[in-house]
Chains A and B, each alone.
Chain A
Amino acid sequence: EIVLTQSPTTMAASPGEKVTITCRASSSVSYMHWYQQKPGASPKPWIYDTSKLASGVPNRFSGSGSGTSYSLTISSMETEDTATYYCQQWSSNSLTFGSGTKLEIK
């Protein structure tokens, strides 16, 4: 099973600040996907195939990476971005999620 380790676990950013969340895989994966989850709600697809934005996702979000290291970046933090973000991979018929990064506004 491929283990995904996210960092940081929690963070707070000021409005307008650049934010980067990292996801490291225990073995190389071809793609990484990201989900946003707000309290009491189901997760939403956010970034897929490493760098493609899901429908409705603001273009201040971006994704990048390859191999064992991937990241989600917010160019300019906004209040509505407060949420928990999870990375996810599927390879060798095994699917795993990262431990999550809780992002708050300062």
Chain B
Amino acid sequence: QVNLLQSGAALVKPGASVKLSCKASGYTFTDYYIHWVKQSHGKSLEWIGYINPNSGYTNYNEKFKSKATLTVDKSTNTAYMELSRLTSEDSATYYCTRWGAAIPFAYWGQGTLVTVSS
């Protein structure tokens, strides 16, 4: 069964960076793009972008182009998202997710809560 296991909650200081992970299992990692989605507390969902694990090609929401960097490690079936120059606006839960065979965003990680505070 498909599983996306995300790293644990992070408490980071303003101005710092954080790297979140999403370990995939139960399918061929390179067959599906990994997307990342932000959800601020009590707010809606924002698409950050996706990475093609096979080629490393990325596509970002314009809003997050200077904030997020998506990478993968094919040897460990893990996708990463690094968030830089963190501010309180970056405090949120971040999800990794992927398409199913025909269903958009059929599989989701459990989410990683990032708190930016001094």
Binding site for B on A (CB under 8 A): 1, 33, 35, 42-45, 48-49, 54, 86, 88, 90, 93-100
Contact = CB atoms under 8 A, between A and B. Distances in A.
A7 to B, nearest CB: 14
Interface in B54-102: 59, 61-62, 95, 97, 100, 102
A8 to B, nearest CB: 14
Interface stretch (B7-15, B18-26, B40-48): B40-48
A49 B100 CA distance: 13
A97 B110 contact: no
Given A42-B95, A42-B108, A43-B108, A95 B47 contact: yes
Contacts of B59: 93
Contacts of B103: 45, 48, 54
Contacts of A96: 47
Contacts of A42: 95, 97, 108-111
Contacts, number: 48
A86 B103 CA distance: 15
B45 A86 contact: yes
**3 closest Cβ pairs, A-B complex:** A42-B108, A97-B45, A95-B47
B106 A45 contact: yes
B105 A45 contact: yes
B106 A100 contact: no
A43 B109 contact: no
Nearest to B96: A42
Contacts of A35: 45, 105
A102 B35 CA distance: 24
A67 B95 CA distance: 29
Given A35-B105, A90-B104, 11 more contacts: A42-B108, A42-B109, A42-B110, A44-B108, A45-B103, A45-B105, A48-B102, A48-B103, A88-B45, A95-B47, A97-B45
B44 A88 contact: no
A43 B44 CA distance: 11
Contacts of A98: 44
Given A35-B105, A54-B106, A94-B61, A45 B46 contact: no
